[in-house]
Amino acid sequence: MTTAIVWFRRDLRLEDNPALHAAWRAHARIVCVYLHAPDEEAPWQPGAASNWWLHHSLQALDADLRRRGACLFVARGPTAAALERLIAASGARAVYWNTLHEPALMARDAALRRVLRARAIEVHNFNANLLAEPSDLQSGQGGPYRVFTPFWRRLRANLQPRPPLPAPRRIVAPALPGNVALRDLGLLPSVRWDRGFAAVWQPGEAGAHAALQRFRDRALGDYRVDRDRPDRDGTSALSPHLHFGEIGPRQIVWRLLSDVRDDVHERNTVEAYLRELGWREFSHHLLHHFPHLPERNLDRRFDGFAWANEDALALRRWQLGETGIPIVDAGMRQLWASGWMHNRVRMLVASFLTKNLRQHWRHGARWFWDTLVDADLANNSQGWQWTAGCGVDAAPYFRIFNPVTQGERFDPAGAYVRRWVPELAKVPAAAIHRPWEFAGAHRLAYPAPMVDLRATRVAALAAYRHLPRSG
């Protein structure tokens, strides 16, 4: 009768969870544990929206475990001490977990592994969150990939769909003292700004599978067009589920490829979506090989870029969605109200912040970090560097979005703007993205644009010209 500890982190699922599956096959009794130690993730401890998600996802995992005869044991960190206590209390001789690929956490976990093995405790680690280990992929030149397309071509060619590992049918768990009640972790906000979240999201493994099912049945068919349309429900909305590991990319790949019809359109559509999973992998690849990605420009020429002085008032208007640019404000308010923003609109608000307002991208990255339910260090850092133009294989800095043009192209009737900026609900479609040209504009309870789009664009290009030619 051996006992093992399965340490859940961001793999909050029972199906296709390799650490859980391996422990369940090898041991009679399993302690399923979550250790709360946000300080160990500093300076990138989860933000308020992530904590909201985490609370509900842990609750769902606990319920799923109880249906199988176990429960989720919750303890506070530091993780090393908590694991020691658990080992002593349970008599476990083995600890299982799935890798977190963020550099700081990989270092912490490597130290834990050494300590445990020195005490003759087995440690078994698995990859549950990525299609490929970032350290396994090398470009033709031998170093890490810096360009997405060859990276993805390589990863895609080696991608073998395989059926998911089954969830354990029944788990025998020893009773242990000291379980911390989930609500005592303080993950839920004291000021209840989160009321809108529950209407939009279903955290947990069941919610993740429901989202995938909805996407496959209803949205996938028009994905290549609708994924750019914030006025339609055309994206997968799987990002927070993926971040917390309620579903893994391998499960998604299996689901989409195992029963795709032999039809050119459908195959191309699936490939277009898999490519987005590829960007997620590419972000983790870059974070692994360039661990300072969250704080430092990958393109070091931008270290000397003439960002505008930090402007707290301008940042505040951007955060609150009071810039006077309809689609920017719609996006920022969607983020605040629901913890999520449509991908195209993320690019637009990021372009507006870093180019029209010329505020440093890290201000945007920080705000997203605290407000997104899908906040993910690799994706968020990579995404901001991509839009700001200082990443590798990034949008060039001179590619400055015009939020009016983009709004008219991707939200033509203005349904997205009307939904999130109700002050503009009665503006006719022809003027919805440029209400300052609308005859009744002075009567609207909506601000004039905080900056002139044309002038700030010209100023951003002028600043860009002063970058060194290469470096």
Partner DNA sequence: TGAAATGTTGGGGCG
Partner DNA sequence: ACGCCCCAACATTTC
Marked catalytic residue, from 122, 276, 408, 423: 276
CB closer to DNA out of 152 and 290? 152
Which residues neighbour 165 within 8 Å (Cβ) at sequence distance 6 or greater? 15, 16, 17, 18, 21
Q: How far is the CB of 155 from DNA (least distance, A)?
A: 15
Is 367 one of the annotated active-site residues of the chain? no
Determine the interface stretch with DNA among 94-102, 112-120, 153-161, 449-457 (rule: CB under 7 A). 449-457
Is 24 one of the annotated active-site residues of the chain? no
Q: How far is the CB of 395 from DNA (least distance, A)?
A: 5
CB closer to DNA out of 119 and 409? 409
Is 307 one of the annotated active-site residues of the chain? yes
CB closer to DNA out of 369 and 386? 386
Q: How far is the CB of 384 from DNA (least distance, A)?
A: 13
Binders of DNA among residues 86 to 125 (CB under 7 A) are none
> Rule CB under 7 A: is residue 288 a binding residue for DNA?
no
> Rule CB under 7 A: is residue 395 a binding residue for DNA?
yes
CB closer to DNA out of 28 and 461? 461
Q: Which of 425, 448, 454, 468 touches DNA by CB under 7 A?
A: 454
Determine the interface stretch with DNA among 76-84, 105-113, 298-306, 459-467 (rule: CB under 7 A). 459-467
Q: How far is the CB of 104 from DNA (least distance, A)?
A: 26
Buried/exposed 135-166: b ≥16 CB within 10 Å, e otherwise: eebeeeeeebbbebeebbebbeeebeeeebbe
Across-strand partners of 122?
Answer: 94
Binders of DNA among residues 56 to 75 (CB under 7 A) are none
Tokens of 460: 């951003």
CB closer to DNA out of 90 and 402? 402
Q: Which of 288, 344, 358, 366 touches DNA by CB under 7 A?
A: 344
Which residues neighbour 263 within 8 Å (Cβ) at sequence distance 6 or greater? none
Q: How far is the CB of 221 from DNA (least distance, A)?
A: 19
> Rule CB under 7 A: is residue 406 a binding residue for DNA?
yes
> Rule CB under 7 A: is residue 235 a binding residue for DNA?
no
Separation between Cα atoms, residue 344 and residue 410, nearest integer Å: 9
Q: How far is the CB of 251 from DNA (least distance, A)?
A: 22
> Rule CB under 7 A: is residue 453 a binding residue for DNA?
yes
Separation between Cα atoms, residue 448 and residue 323, nearest integer Å: 8
Query: Interface mask (CB under 7 A) for DNA, residues 145-184, using x and -?
Result: ---x------------------------------------
CB closer to DNA out of 253 and 350? 350
Q: How far is the CB of 140 from DNA (least distance, A)?
A: 21
> Rule CB under 7 A: is residue 402 a binding residue for DNA?
yes
Q: How far is the CB of 238 from DNA (least distance, A)?
A: 15
> Rule CB under 7 A: is residue 398 a binding residue for DNA?
yes
Q: What is the 3-state secondary structure (H, E, C) of 343-378?
A: HHHHHHHHHHHHHHCCCCHHHHHHHHHHHCCCCCHH
> Rule CB under 7 A: is residue 436 a binding residue for DNA?
no
Across-strand partners of 439?
Answer: none
Separation between Cα atoms, residue 31 and residue 72, nearest integer Å: 8
Tokens of 141: 């030149």
Is 279 one of the annotated active-site residues of the chain? yes
CB closer to DNA out of 226 and 370? 226
> Which residue, 158, 82, 144, 151, is CA-closest to 116?
82
> Rule CB under 7 A: is residue 223 a binding residue for DNA?
no
Separation between Cα atoms, residue 120 and residue 158, nearest integer Å: 36
Residues forming the active site? 276, 279, 307, 343, 361, 384
Contact positions toward DNA, by CB under 7 A?
148, 228, 276, 279, 343-344, 347, 395-396, 398-402, 405-406, 409, 453-454, 457, 461, 464-465
